Amino acid sequence: MNTTSLSLARLFMERRQELRRRLKYRLGSEELANDALQETYLRIERMSDTDSVSTNPLGYLFRMAVNAAADQRQADSRYLTGNEVEELLNTGADSLDPARVFHARFEVQALTDALGELTARQRAILIAARVDDTPLQEIADHYEISVRMVGKELKKALEHCAQRLDRKFVQRFGPGAGKES
């Protein structure tokens, strides 16, 4: 380890409980907080001496942990659940049932209409974040806004689409995670 990573690792170990508490509150899950802390420590070990640390090292560590949790959440969203795998395996001749085809087309049209009702920026952010898997920081840089504002715009867009599709919107990350909006 270099001097930058050594000093951050020392601070990390000294303030680990405080970071865990703050992350648990921010992420809404102790398990997510622990995973994020573990990944953060691994990232500290991989740091080079040229990596710059802000004037607030504890805030820097917390941001690293939040980013690690966001990266993990994004990676996890790419996997199919057990139920989805089961459904794919059990898809048979009835999958082309006319009623299901009609319902699917109806939902696609409803989603298309909902996307058309969003502002251009909200629509672009939603597509970049959820379809193209673009990191929120990259989206923020593109629009010259904060990551927090990207999150707000994304949440508004998702809530609007959920409402138009008559679905419940459940926040999966941040304060209030797991609660219906």
Q: What is the pLDDT of residues 33-90, one digit of tens each?
A: 899 999 999 988 888 766 667 678 888 888 889 998 888 887 776 666 677 777 777 7
Q: What is the DSSP string of 28-66?
A: S-HHHHHHHHHHHHHHHHH--TT----S-HHHHHHHHHH
In this structure, the answer to whether residues 13 and 72 fall within a common structural domain is yes
Asked if the structure places residue 20 within a domain, the reply is yes
Q: What is the pTM of this model?
A: 0.44
Residue 29 binned pLDDT confidence (cut-offs 50, 70, 90): confident
Has residue 92 been placed in a domain? Answer: no
Q: Minimal CA–CA distance to 130: which of 112, 149, 155, 108?
A: 155
Task: Give Cα 155 to chain centroid, integer Å.
Answer: 11
What is the number of structural domains in the chain? Answer: 2
Q: Is residue 9 part of a domain?
A: yes
158 and 104 belong to one structural domain: yes
Determine contact, residues 175/148, Cβ cutoff 8 Å: no
Domain presence at residue 172? no
Stretch among 15-29, 57-71, 92-106, 147-161 having the lowest mean pLDDT: 92-106
* 3-state secondary structure (DSSP) of residue 21: helix
Three-state DSSP class for residue 78: coil
Last residue of a domain, one of 76, 108, 137: 76
CATH number of the domain that 138 lies in? 1.10.10.10
Enclosing domain of residue 54: 3-76
